[in-house]
Structure 1
Amino acid sequence: MPNPATTLFHRAMHLLLAKDMPGFIALFADDAVLEFPFAPPGQPGRVAGRAAVHDYLIDYPDILDVHEITEVTVHETTDPAVIVTEFTAVGVVVATGEPYRLRYIAVLTVRDGHIVHYRDYWNPQAAQDLLGGGLVRS
């Protein structure tokens, strides 16, 4: 039987590629938390609650046009509700038309078919460079 956290992660990546942000956001629990341990100054390190997740992510496709999620590795843990994922997002920075390619590591915790905690590790300096110093989103 597939790990539910792994299945949910793959569903999330499918929705992200489809630019279905309402569908992507619906995967988060009402009390979900996004954490960005490497967030640069002026950017949130934590977004709590589905409503806040919505506000943070709803315009994501207007910032980054992600075409591919590559180099995907999912590490299942001894806790079936927790996975560690590695992947690369490939696309275009909408404002500039410049290519975007950034490696991510994310730790997901799921409960009852929803993401309750998404800890996103990425290189904020590389993201700022790619986005031309603009808004950094993971």
Structure 2
Amino acid sequence: MPMSAGVDACLPIRSDMDLAWVRQHVRQSAARLGFGLVEQTKLVTAASELARNTLVHGGGGRMESARVTRGRAVGLRLTFADEGAGIADLEQALRDGYTSGDGLGLGLGGARRLVHEFSLESTPGVGTTVTVISWASTPPPPREEP
């Protein structure tokens, strides 16, 4: 199990502007942890989709981010949580082609393929929590001493 020192940031997801802040935060955090450009782009894409789902289908919520480690590996854990209607059929929601709205139905399944670890918990009438972890393929740069 990955080790975390705690939550680094908690961002609200209540508007389209918040989606932009989420993307910016994830890109900056991933870069700071030593993620390459391709890994950053994959994680930002997954985060963007999950944040939009939190806003559109969950009525808004929050994203928490945390630096995690496993041995020498460094990663970024993102948790998206809402108190919306929840997902009645998780298997169906993860299937490519399924959509509960006007989208292409590639959201949850696509986000799952873009990260290394993916967890989805949902209770109808209570809400949904999606947690993803991506690991940097290169070690983070050394810390600068003050």
Settle same-fold status: TM greater than 0.5.
Answer: no
TM-score by length of 2: 0.35
Highest RCO, 1 vs 2 (Cα 8 Å, sep ≥ 6): 2
Name the larger-Rg structure.
2
Identify, as 1 or 2, the structure richer in helix: 2
